[in-house]
Amino acid sequence: MKYLVDYHVHTDNSFDGKVSMAEQCEKAIEIGLKEIVFTEHYDLNPNDKSKGFFNYEKYSREIEECRQKYGDKLIIKKGLELGEPHLYTAEHDAFIKDRDFDFLLGSVHFLGDILLDADFGLPEKELYLKYFSEILELAKTGEFHTLGHIDVLKRYVPPHFKKFLAINYEEIIREILTTTIKRGKGIEINTSGFRQGLGEPLPAVEILEWFYELGGEVITIGSDAHHSKDLGQDLERGINVLRDVGFKAISTFSQGKINFIDI
């Protein structure tokens, strides 16, 4: 694929980002990306270290500087990764309004006041169902263009849990996908699963197949890079997975307006 894009990228504008925006842009050009979206964390959960970290003015200034410096080689877009946006709809709406974001990812990183990587002390099935119920609420009422890493819990579960099998949660996952499609929204394929040893993207291929079968068309692709070495990693592999499932295009966004790129 000639037109490679990365729709899930962090910089040091995110509390856990390890790289400057300029460095990410340089790396993007080096590896041949055509378009990049800086989807920085924006979180409101009081227990989240990320809360209050994102500085829109600094971020926007850097976007402008990078567009001036690299804009002839790379399309640079403004985005956010909203944490649990269904729980903070009014606050998120107020923040996003009048700010010129191109693209919004909606993600779940917390269950209640607890970060996903904690030990919840719950049996496997119960924990996954609790997590997917939260994603379902996000799909129903949250603000986003695509749902971030739908099955990310599989990355954080205790080692004694079995390998994540989407089929065990098919009913609720299909409900998440149907709800998302009905709202005219989509999902992302997050390629970080490959480099983090999961051996599959997020979400798992079965979930992508259900999304396709249900008529889902809006799908963005991203590496979820917090370091420049991870930028754009496995995007081609992710595209191949999508092609194998049957998808003909991926989505890009400008000021919230969708566009499709053939794959």
Shortest distance in whole angstroms from residue 2 CB to Zn ion: 26
Does residue 179 touch Zn ion according to CB under 5 A?
A: no
Please, which residue, 107 or 251, has the CB nearer to Zn ion?
107
Does residue 220 touch Zn ion according to CB under 5 A?
A: no
Does residue 224 touch Zn ion according to CB under 5 A?
A: yes
Please, which residue, 144 or 247, has the CB nearer to Zn ion?
144
Please, which residue, 103 or 244, has the CB nearer to Zn ion?
103
Please, which residue, 6 or 224, has the CB nearer to Zn ion?
224
- Total residues at interface with Zn ion (CB under 5 A): 3
How far, CA to CA in Å, does 117 sit from each of 114, 127, 157, 158?
8, 12, 7, 9
Site for Zn ion in 89-108 (CB under 5 A): 107
Please, which residue, 18 or 69, has the CB nearer to Zn ion?
18
Task: Give the list of residues 6+ apart from residue 60 with CB closer than 8 angstroms, or none.
Answer: 78
User: Sign of dihedral through CA atoms 71, 77, 78, 81?
Assistant: negative
C-alpha to C-alpha distance for 130 and 216, rounded to whole angstroms: 24
Site stretch for Zn ion (CB under 5 A), options 116-124, 160-168, 224-232, 242-250: 224-232
C-alpha to C-alpha distance for 258 and 251, rounded to whole angstroms: 6
Q: CB of 105 within 8 A of CB of 39?
A: yes
DSSP 55: -
Please, which residue, 62 or 224, has the CB nearer to Zn ion?
224
Token pair for 229: 């070495």
Residue number closest to Zn ion, CB atom = 107
Does residue 151 touch Zn ion according to CB under 5 A?
A: no
Site for Zn ion in 43-82 (CB under 5 A): 81
**What's the CA dihedral at 125, 41, 209, 176 to 10 degrees?**
60
Taken as a whole, the chain contains a residue count of 263
Does residue 84 touch Zn ion according to CB under 5 A?
A: no
Residues that bind Zn ion (CB under 5 A): 81, 107, 224
